Amino acid sequence: MPSFPHTPIGLIGFGAFGRLVAAHLAAHVTLRIHDPYVSEAGFAAAGVAPCGLAEAASCPVVILATPVSSLAEVVRAVAPHLRPGALVLDVGSVKVGPAAIMREGLPPGIDIVATHPLFGPQSARDGLRGLKIAVCPVRGGRARRVAAFLRRGLGLEVILTTPEAHDREAAAVQGLTHLIAKVLVAMEPLPTRMTTRSFDLVMQAVGMVRHDAPEVYHAIERANPYAAEVRRRFFDLAAQMDGELGEVEMAGTELCPTPS
């Protein structure tokens, strides 16, 4: 990431997270934004002007803010336009698959840093300072420069890690959060008046992810190679606890038989 102002950065993708990226980078760099799925009116409403793919992809730094499911297609599209020595970053919720896609699909000589901002538009609505971001070196030696900019320029707490270590932890941190949120949303309406502080905090967490795009949930649960194992353990333990509670209820029924 550049350490001087107004370096051109190409931003590929202008969905909810692309807009968040643009809002916080605009004061530091010059953005060249491309997204064929956003209308001119959508760009105008955000106060930015779009550009073509070649212009965005030929910047010294290129950020791929697209769904994990379309990353391979995007990598193929930008690869011919990248300048030698460019730096490419992604912002997806999983890292093992995207790191492999970028490593295999981007030309030699292109530096690659896989990142995962551990927040979204909801949790970042009051600003970025103090929020966390995972930074995974994939190719080249610029990951620490990226980390330094994220710390000093944006006030983020940077976690340097590997794609594998990231996905192992994210399988629980994100996988369980989104899974539980999905279950609770499906159970609605839930109480809103007579609630405890702990219940309010749980529902606050649900509120942070309930409006995430379906692609985010699918990436977290399906594209993370460790998510299925975490889900199985969670459901196995839940079933075990349900069985234990059933045994207690059965024992209570036997101790207090129904009058004949």
Residue 154, SS3 per DSSP: helix
Last residue of a domain, one of 161, 186, 207: 161
pTM, 2 dp: 0.90
Full residue range of the structural domain in which residue 42 is found: 8-161
Q: DSSP label at 50?
A: B
Looking at the chain, which runs of residues are DSSP E strands? 8-12, 30-34, 61-64, 87-90, 111-117, 132-139, 157-160
Looking at 156-222, which runs of residues are DSSP E strands? 157-160
**Cβ contact 182:220 at 8 Å:** no
Structural domain includes residue 194: yes
Listed in sequence order, the residues at least 6 apart from 191 whose beta carbon sits closer than 8 Å to its beta carbon are 199
Determine how many CB atoms are found less than 10 A away from the CB of residue 4: 7
Residues 178 and 142 grouped into a single domain: no
Structural domain includes residue 257: no
The pLDDT tens digits along the chain (260 residues) read: 544 456 899 999 999 999 999 999 998 999 999 999 999 999 999 999 999 999 999 999 999 999 999 999 999 999 999 999 999 999 999 999 999 999 999 999 999 999 999 998 888 989 999 999 999 999 999 999 999 999 999 999 999 999 999 999 999 999 999 999 999 999 999 999 999 999 999 999 999 999 888 999 999 999 999 999 999 999 999 999 999 998 766 666 665 666 65
| Euclidean distance between CA atoms 55 and 65, whole angstroms | 16
Sheet with 30-34, side-by-side order of all strands: 30-34, 8-12, 61-64, 87-90, 111-117, 132-139, 157-160
Structural domain includes residue 111: yes
Residues 147 and 215 grouped into a single domain: no
Chain centroid to Cα 7, Å, comes to 25
Residue 53, SS3 per DSSP: helix
